[in-house]
Chain A
């Protein structure tokens, strides 16, 4: 079982993930329409690129936009959650050992202590984000079962990973396989679900940045004050 989930299934998961996000990028860009979107993308590409980069950059910086500054608590939650979610698995020692073994390359690693803290941070911020959905009427009204499912898909690898690493669940092998499976499910879910915001965040921000950069003022001022 371990051989299967770290072997063929891992191949499948990574293939679906990488091909999937490339397809999403291509489909997104092909679906842009200068007249329907009312943005002259091509004739003013320079302004468009400037607007796109600004639009992505400011939103990647904690408190970099007026919205991030307005919702301070949410901003901390979102950044802690996402930084942990993306970087912990990439730089985790255990993962890189397997990478090296199976595919002959690896990334620099973070200490196990750091990884542990980041995992706890993901789990805690994740639960607060879920509580927020229940506690605040303006978020509750938006929340659907699908949102909770997506949340579970994203959280599962961290919870199972944490349990396995600390040998909390009794059967180490069971939790390890569950952890690997849940990670692969998440990777494969990215292109097909709302988790596609992994890449579509950048596409969408790029588009709106181009909109403001080209049409809505970017050619007459320094750029939108995100």
Chain B
């Protein structure tokens, strides 16, 4: 059975393999090898038999082909209503066909499935809320990604990404030492302005265990400092774990369920080790989805709950504002029109729409909702890994039009996007379409308007 050196059915488990993949510029060799990859049809059939149960079987069977999912999909709308972008068509012609053929499919078909699963669906699950039968095609695309991954048909970046999780327990090559050093560095860097500022590592029984997205220590360490300052101002008893600090999961985007489990278990182990009262995760949507919503099931936790109660950053901010731990200086509230990007992963798929609105009521004078909004908002255009895949750059850029038009319709120039994927997508849409908007996480905005208690201010010179 021909297997490539880089493109094969074996997940990336070693640093050597990872380096080989990384040095293959834009995955040129990788995608070349993919053309010769053979399908293990028996394994595919066996996996379907074992894992495709009544829920998905029924979804595939009873779909009335009514087309009511069409307009729910931003990719359908962005591609001039191309019928081939109708969610039902996309899933029936891929997963539906694999199931009908009992796994007996060829290389070209699997590549088509891969292209569909990663460039025609971001797993935002909006179609699931449009279908009268409750057929959630986003869930099925997640499943299809798993099938594709098991056969080696996964975009190059995500083979690397899930490999990172297996090797570094983070989506990037950030080691425990790198992470702890970054925490120390940031605390020192800002200590002058914030006397007593600490980023406590591995403190047991804290009220909050804070976890992040590896991009923050790697590329935006100020984000970590901002989180620390806000916890400091709020008087929180908090800590970060030295291991198990990474909440994101490119493995989830890749459909590498084994790596998903490895990754979330590092966080759950940290919870068990440090015994915090609760866990709070940074402003990242898929991190929360992976570790808090889906993770317990990968890890086999039967109540579907993380070992300690877990919260998204917007929940913590809403609570801090509500209880007065953080007070906003009324004169510093955002005066210009401002809108909020609902991240699919923690709004539609985790029900936190009200937290976001509560925060906006404290910090903004002229909050403009997008249309549609809340649970029914569109994907930013870059979710589910779409932002990071070179092979599908063009398709991603086309999809951004919908979010662009939604933002423009609000007439707001500032978009609050407390999700790394949304933040990236909105940054990219400004870069491409130059519509003159700005975008921000919550932390830097809050720091500009929060009232600093006297005793926390640096001594006068």
Please measure, in the bound complex, the distance between the C-alpha atom of A7 and the C-alpha atom of B369, giving whole angstroms: 62
Residues of A172-226 whose CB lies within 8 A of B = 194, 196-197, 200-201, 203-205, 207-209, 211-212, 214-218, 220-221, 224-226
Would you give the shortest CB distance from B429 to chain A, in whole angstroms?
24
Pick from A14-22, A34-42, A119-127 the stretch touching chain B.
A34-42
Q: Which residues of B contact A147 (CB under 8 A)?
A: 64-65
Bound-state Cα–Cα, A178 to B132, Å: 32
Of the candidates B61, B128, B130, which one forms a contact with A194 in the assembled complex, judged by CB atoms under 8 Å apart?
B61
| In-complex Cβ contact of A207 among B51, B134, B300, B353 (8 A) | B134
* A36-B51 in contact given A43-B303, A139-B67 (Cβ < 8 Å): yes
Contact A32 B81 (CB under 8 A): no
Q: Chain B, 48-62, contact with A by CB distance < 8 Å: what is the 0/1 string?
A: 000101110111011
Chain B residues whose C-beta falls within 8 Å of the C-beta of A27 in the assembled complex: 54
Contact yes or no, A194 B300, CB < 8 A: no
Query: Which of B84-92, B116-124, B238-246, B331-339 contacts the other chain?
Result: B84-92
Q: State whether the Cβ of A33 lies closer than 8 Å to any Cβ in chain B.
A: yes
Residue in B88, B304, B350 whose beta carbon sits within 8 Å of that of A217 in the complex: B350
In the complex, the answer to whether A142 meets B92 with C-beta atoms within 8 Å is: yes
Q: B135 touching A204 by the CB < 8 A rule? A: yes
Q: How far is the CB of B92 from chain A (nearest CB, A)?
A: 7
Partner of B304, one of A40, A67, A225, A226: A40
Q: Within residues 348 to 390 of chain B, which ones have a CB less than 8 A from any CB in chain A? A: 348-354, 372, 374-376
Q: Please give me the residue from chain B that is nearest to A38 by CB atom.
A: B297
**Contact status A204-B133, CB under 8 Å:** yes
Number of interface residues of A (CB under 8 A): 59
The answer for the CA separation of A215 and B125 in the assembled complex, in Å, is 14
Bound form: Cα–Cα A137–B253 in Å: 31
- Taking a contact as CB atoms closer than 8 A, the residue among B58, B65, B67 that contacts A200 in the complex is B58
- Contacts of B70 on A, CB cut-off 8 Å? 138
B134 x A220 contact (CB < 8 A) = no
Q: How far is the CA of A143 from the CA of B58 in the complex (A)?
A: 18
A189 to chain B, nearest CB (A): 13
B68 near A71 (CB under 8 angstroms)? yes
Contact call B68/A74, Cβ cutoff below 8 A: yes
The verdict on A194 contacting B86 (CB below 8 Å), with A32-B53, A43-B303, A224-B351 known, is no
Instruction: Tell me, yes or no, whether B1 is within 8 Å of chain A by CB.
Output: no
Decide: A197 and B62 in contact? CB cutoff 8 A: yes
18 contacts between A and B (CB under 8 A): A28-B54, A31-B54, A31-B57, A38-B297, A40-B303, A43-B304, A138-B76, A139-B65, A141-B86, A194-B61, A197-B64, A204-B59, A204-B134, A215-B293, A215-B304, A216-B348, A217-B351, A224-B351
